[in-house]
Structure 1
Amino acid sequence: MPLMMDSPRTRGLSEANGLRRDSRGVASTVATMLSLLVMLLFLDLALIEIIPRQQNDAEFVTTQTAISTFEQLHGLAQGAVIPAGDSLGAPGLTVTFPLGTQGVSPLQPATSGTLTFDPTAGGAQLWFNFVPHFRRGEVAHVDQDIILAIDSSGSMSWNDPTRLRITGAQEYIDRLSCPDHVASIDFDSVAHLTRENIGGAPHHLTDISNNCFPNFSVPRADVDTIDSSGSTNGGAALYVGVNEHLGYGDPKRARVIILLTDGQNTICTPTPPCFDPDGPGPLTSGSGSASDALAFQQARRARDHGITIYTIGLGSDMGLANPNCPSPGKVRDCMKAWAEITGGSYFEAPTAASIRWIYYEISRHFTGSFICGNLVSGDVGAGTLSLELRNREFPAQTLTYESGGVVRRQPDGAFVMDGPGVQWTSTATKGPAGALSIDLVALTGKEFRADGSDPAMVSIRPLGRDLQTLEITKVNLTDVNNFLTRENQNLDYWTTQGASTPAATASVETPINQAKTLLTTAQGKVDQGNLSSAKGDIDSITAKLSDVIAAAQTAATAGTMQKWLADDTTDDMLLQQCYMTQWENWYDGLSVEITSNDAAAWMDWMARTAKSSGMQYTVSRVGNTAVLTIRAVDRVFIERRILSVTLSG
């Protein structure tokens, strides 16, 4: 091909065709940029499916790492994964929580998350009702130091010829129980502790047998030494009684003097303690008036030392005039005053046959009030550690450690991945009774919040760990039935003694027998494992026991049953109702309550866990609290751990 030379002719042709030389290379630059743009466009189009997939995978890995971290925390709380050494002195663990995921494309930013700790939020609670210590005694017992001051003047030979005041005192002693102490005073013209009254050594409150060890046989025999001879000197009796309490009594106990006499004071010897309290005048040291004055003085002395006096007036002489007594000036008014000064009471016995009932009535002042005490016990674990992962491609996640478990929340709902340790062991061949083991975890520390994409390091350190074992009493209904049989026998005995009429006794025993029939039926159902049906019988038994109480108190009001016997029967029935309450508490079981924003997820976990264990249960929800109720729990093992949570750095 011939070489074409640049000539004026060819230049002219080029210019004529609109072409000119690109001496600066502009066209080349533009073309290059367009090519690069096209290449980037095609590259982005090629990766538009790849990058999201890779981002999703990366966020999945972050989520799994976060889950593993929470499982590590759960393992720390549930098992022995603390570094070797004393658990309370161990350094604990430092765990790393990923907050976000780096972008897989230079054009995409990292995702972020938030880690928060709130020591007061949420938590698990374990609650159950029970009757405390009711097997230790039928009613609350008031420990007492008792002094029985008994009139032995000559008038007792006709006012109490069959010595019913002695048998009444012995019956009072029979109602005492350890660690009570008792002593007695024989008073007529003078006053002595028993055995000293017949020339022997005085028997004090703290002497062997008087102090209840090995029994009360000696003080019971002591009152048999009291005779019927001499005059009456009640002031000296109170003087000896107060001195005995101050010398041998225990101020932490109920200190009591029970003074029984059949007439007004007629003499006061020796001197001292007898004296003329108002100086020279008509009250000579040997007069009954001086004994009255001494009695008032000793009543005030007893009051000042916390000693209570009860007085019993026997016979018609209580209505005789005595100018030394408060208005209306009868003998009984002095005896009332001596008692009331100390916070005690006066009782009048028209005949000696009434004395035993009065002693019984006074004895009830020191049985205390009946206590069933349906109490609530529980333990609590609190604190939440929560991580929110704001993923872009993989579903957003919120992981929370609370109540000893790990909850995973996603857009489609929440799920409890790991719950607190719960184990059920059957203890009955029939029926659902068993032993429950449960772990409660409390997180403590200062509240914190960490935001961003970089990992956050948290220190977990154990602060405490304890294991508590609770035995929950299961009432044997046959034992209750046997008790009611003895109650009927007791009522029958006292009916023969005149403490109740046959009609009054029958009105009380009728509902007792109805309760016994129901108890036999209920125990048979329990033996067959039919607890729910037995529960209905227990409710009926409780109602029948209330009928017994009503019948006894009605009879007491009508005067057909001694009040002390009606009150004793009432206490016995209250005790059996207490047993019925405990049986119902055992049947009702205990409740595990978990308060959480994810209460529905916790309900699902409770149902799954309970169903697989074989326990008898119910699951319910009140607001943000999920409740698992487990019936017929014989024994509870509660392991409680306290973990300190601290944000490192």
Structure 2
Amino acid sequence: MTFADPILLLCLLIVPAAFVVYGQVQRRRSRYVVRFTNVDLLGNLVPRTPAWRRHVPPALYLVAMTALVVALARPSMAVAVPRDEATIILTMDVSGSMTAVDVDPSRLAAAQKAASAFIDQLPASFKVGLVAFSTAPRIVVEPTTDRAALHAALDNLAARGGTALGDAIVTSLEAAGLDPNASSSGAAPSASPDPSASGSPTPSASASATPAPSGSAAPEAQKPIVATVLLSDGANSTGELEPIPAAEEAAGLDVPIYTIALGTADGVVTVPDNQGQLHTLNVPPDTDTLAAIAETTGGRYFEAPTAQDLAQIYENLGTKIGYTTEEREVTQWFAAAGLLLVVGGAGLAAHWFNRFP
């Protein structure tokens, strides 16, 4: 918490001083008790009330004084406020290893269900795009607010092929309307059709996000966020660009990538060779690379060994991405609390002792 006029907090010294004065008054009062010879008459004249009641109104006044002094100093604090707009790209691995069943009912099915819930959790004003990648990445759904189109595209994803993780990152930037070449001198691969994701790309009902021209950027708190949520279960095995150089391009465009490593080290798939013979392959997630991608771009890295873990991660991401932190003046909160405490103390004094205050 910060204060616009912190010097006024010195007035808080009045509170302990008032407490000391109150204590002295109470001790003096106990020394000057009126003596009655007729005890029965005393009981009739003075109603019996709990001794603690007489301390409640003064205590409320002291707390009220504290709140009002803090209000005078004009406090501000960081509060979570919902974002007005953002572009979120869901980048999902649909390589053959996503058929592994170490995550119930399968890696792909768990990812589809959790991503669908994540989409519904985001504010309706957020544009969400979907990129699927295996041997090559493709934009399945351009950034849009049409949640039905996103759900339909997620349901139609199928798993097969290799893992072009680096190319998928670049395609995610392009899906958000960004130019990867703007942050790197190297050429970026363009999105290409991917046989691993069934269905054709769904065009957006609205234009994709376009980076603001230089010199016209809005203040940081007002800039629409562009972020990528990248889910993968394997190591980069194909493609033109390695994952870390691709992540550096995203970092150059201020696009954080939140990475999720799906699956366990015990995950296996059965694949045929060129002669049709079946082989069982171990397909552990590449946790080191995914963690490095998140660190390079300023995102966060998560591990999801179970479907429940994956659902919780997406839920937490929805809260993190959907809100931003801003400094807001909260003077009115302290002023209102102080006034309510004063009214409460006065009301109790009037009710219990027929006096004000």
Taking the aligned partners of 2:315 and 2:322, their CA distance within structure 1 comes to 11
3-state DSSP class of the match of 1:236? helix
Taking the aligned partners of 1:588 and 1:371, their CA distance within structure 2 comes to 28
3-state DSSP class of the match of 1:171? helix
CA contact (8 A) 1:140 1:369 kept: yes
Deviation at 1:178, TM superposition (A): 3.8
Which of 574, 584, 587 is 2:337 aligned to? 584
Deviation at 1:588, TM superposition (A): 6.7
Counterpart check, 1:204 vs 2:142: yes
Q: Alpha carbons of 1:267 and 1:177: their partners in 2 closer, same or farther (altered >3 Å)?
A: same
3-state DSSP class of the match of 2:150? helix
1:190 corresponds to: 136
Counterpart check, 1:167 vs 2:113: yes
Q: Alpha carbons of 1:182 and 1:130: their partners in 2 closer, same or farther (altered >3 Å)?
A: farther
CA deviations over 1:116-145 (Å, ceiling 9, x no partner): xxxxxxxxxxx999999xxxxx94123421
- Aligned runs of 1:213-224 on 2, under 5 Å? 216-224=147-155
Taking the aligned partners of 2:325 and 2:266, their CA distance within structure 1 comes to 35
CA contact (8 A) 1:168 1:356 kept: yes
Which of 61, 83, 86 is 1:144 aligned to? 86
3-state DSSP class of the match of 1:174? helix
3-state DSSP class of the match of 2:100? helix
Which of 314, 318, 333 is 1:359 aligned to? 314
RCO higher in 1 or 2 (8 Å CA, sep ≥ 6)? 2
Taking the aligned partners of 2:170 and 2:266, their CA distance within structure 1 comes to 22
TM-score by length of 1: 0.29
2:226 corresponds to: 255
Deviation at 1:168, TM superposition (A): 0.7
CA deviations over 1:338-386 (Å, ceiling 9, x no partner): 1111111211111233211111222232244567945347xxxxxxxxx
Counterpart check, 1:179 vs 2:121: no
3-state DSSP class of the match of 2:115? helix
Which of 260, 263, 270 is 1:312 aligned to? 260
RMSD (CA atoms)? 3.7
Counterpart check, 1:228 vs 2:159: yes
Q: Alpha carbons of 1:582 and 1:298: their partners in 2 closer, same or farther (altered >3 Å)?
A: farther
1:266 corresponds to: 237
TM-score by length of 2: 0.51
2:298 corresponds to: 343
Max Rg structure:
1
- Aligned runs of 1:423-442 on 2, under 5 Å? none
3-state DSSP class of the match of 1:360? helix
Taking the aligned partners of 2:147 and 2:302, their CA distance within structure 1 comes to 25
Taking the aligned partners of 1:305 and 1:584, their CA distance within structure 2 comes to 45
Structure 2: stretches of 5+ with no match in the other structure? 1-70, 180-207, 212-222, 268-284, 348-357
Taking the aligned partners of 2:151 and 2:72, their CA distance within structure 1 comes to 46
Q: Alpha carbons of 1:254 and 1:224: their partners in 2 closer, same or farther (altered >3 Å)?
A: same
Taking the aligned partners of 1:371 and 1:309, their CA distance within structure 2 comes to 22
CA contact (8 A) 1:238 1:299 kept: yes
3-state DSSP class of the match of 1:338? helix
CA contact (8 A) 1:183 1:204 kept: yes
Taking the aligned partners of 1:582 and 1:171, their CA distance within structure 2 comes to 41
Deviation at 1:238, TM superposition (A): 0.6
CA contact (8 A) 1:129 1:585 kept: no
Taking the aligned partners of 2:255 and 2:128, their CA distance within structure 1 comes to 14
Deviation at 1:318, TM superposition (A): 9.8
Taking the aligned partners of 2:149 and 2:335, their CA distance within structure 1 comes to 40
Deviation at 1:301, TM superposition (A): 0.8
Deviation at 1:231, TM superposition (A): 1.7
Deviation at 1:182, TM superposition (A): 0.6
- Aligned runs of 1:131-530 on 2, under 5 Å? 139-142=80-83, 143-159=85-101, 160=103, 161-162=105-106, 163-194=109-140, 203-205=141-143, 210=144, 212=145, 216-245=147-176, 246=178, 248-251=208-211, 252-268=223-239, 274=240, 291=241, 293=242, 295-317=243-265, 331-368=286-323, 373=328, 375-376=330-331
CA deviations over 1:514-557 (Å, ceiling 9, x no partner): xxxxxxxxxxxxxxxxxxxxxxxxxxxxxxxxxxxxxxxxxxxx
CA contact (8 A) 1:263 1:317 kept: no
Deviation at 1:185, TM superposition (A): 1.0
Q: Alpha carbons of 1:303 and 1:312: their partners in 2 closer, same or farther (altered >3 Å)?
A: same
Structure 1: stretches of 5+ with no match in the other structure? 1-126, 133-137, 195-202, 269-273, 275-290, 320-329, 378-577, 590-615, 618-649
Deviation at 1:174, TM superposition (A): 1.1
Decide which structure has greater strand share: 1
Taking the aligned partners of 2:266 and 2:302, their CA distance within structure 1 comes to 11
CA contact (8 A) 1:129 1:375 kept: no
Q: Alpha carbons of 1:193 and 1:305: their partners in 2 closer, same or farther (altered >3 Å)?
A: same
Q: Alpha carbons of 1:372 and 1:256: their partners in 2 closer, same or farther (altered >3 Å)?
A: closer
Deviation at 1:189, TM superposition (A): 1.0
3-state DSSP class of the match of 1:249? coil
Decide which structure has greater helix share: 2
3-state DSSP class of the match of 2:81? coil
